[in-house]
Structure 1
Amino acid sequence: MKSNLEIIIAFLVAVMTFQSCTVYYHQNYTPEEVVQSQKKFRMVDKNGKKYPFYKLIEKDSSLYVLAKNSIFYSNKFKNQEEAELGLIGFSAYSINPENYEYFQIKNSSASGWATAGVVAISIGILYWILFDIWSDDWDDFFSFE
C-alpha cells in the first residue's frame, strides 16, 4: 500500500496536466497595438501588479478590457463597475491607459510550447508513480512466501 503522499502527488500531477501556461512577449506595447492584435494581454500598474485580460477593445474612443465570465478565468477587476457593452460571456471594464506602466501581448507559440512541456513532465511523473505502485503490487502477487 502506498503512502498518502504518493496519492496526493499523483492527484496534483493529474491536475497540472490540465493547466495551461501563458507566456507574454517581453516587448511593451501601446494600447493601440494591443487593440489591433486582438490577443490576450496583460497590463501592469505603477506598483507592479499584473492584470491579465482576454482582450482590449476600443469603443466610442474609450478603452475597455474584457474578462471572460468563467470560474476558470481570474478577474482582478471584479470589484470595479462593469461597463454595459452587450458582449455575451464577457465582463467589460473601462480603463485609463495612463494608470498602467506597460501592456504586454500573449505569445501564443511560446504559451503552447510551455503548456506542452508542463503536460509532458506531468504525464512522465504520473507514469513513474503508477509504475512504482504497480511494480510493488506485482512483486507482492508473485511472491510465494
Structure 2
Amino acid sequence: MEKNMMIGRNIAKLRKQKKMTLRQLAAATGVTQGYLSKLEAGNKIKKPSYEKLNAIAKFFNVDVSYFAAGEDELNKMSQEEKELVFSRNLTLDTIRKADIIDSEGNKITEDEREFMLNALKSYRESKAKFLDELEED
C-alpha cells in the first residue's frame, strides 16, 4: 500500500498548491470527489485507475510519472526542475528552453541536452513500470 500512499500524497500536494477543494478537482477532472478522497487517503483503493490518474495529471499539466515520485525525490528538486522533469510535453525543445547550467556554471551543450532527454524518458519509463505494478498487486 506504500505505493498508493505516495500517489495520494502527491495528488493532495498538487491540489493544495492550487488551493483547490476535492469538489473543485472532481469538477475539473471528471473524477468523482469520493474517488479522489480515497486516492488521497492512499489506502482505500487497491488498484488506482491509470485513466483516472492520467486525467488528474492532465489537469495539473504534469506527466503521470509525477505521482510515482517519492517525497524525498521531490524535495530535492527545485520548482524549475520539477516542471522540466514532469512536463507533459517532454521534448528536446522543452529542454532547450530550460536554463540549465553544469556544475561549473556553463550552459549545457546540445549533446548534453539530447542525453538529458533520453535520461528523462528512461526515468519516466521506470516510473510507468511502478504504476503498472499497481494493477498486479
Q: TM-score range by the shorter chain?
A: under 0.3
Q: What is the TM-score with the length of structure 1 in the denominator?
A: 0.26
Bigger CA radius of gyration: 1
Q: What is the TM-score with the length of structure 2 in the denominator?
A: 0.28
Higher relative contact order (CA 8 A, sep 6+): 1
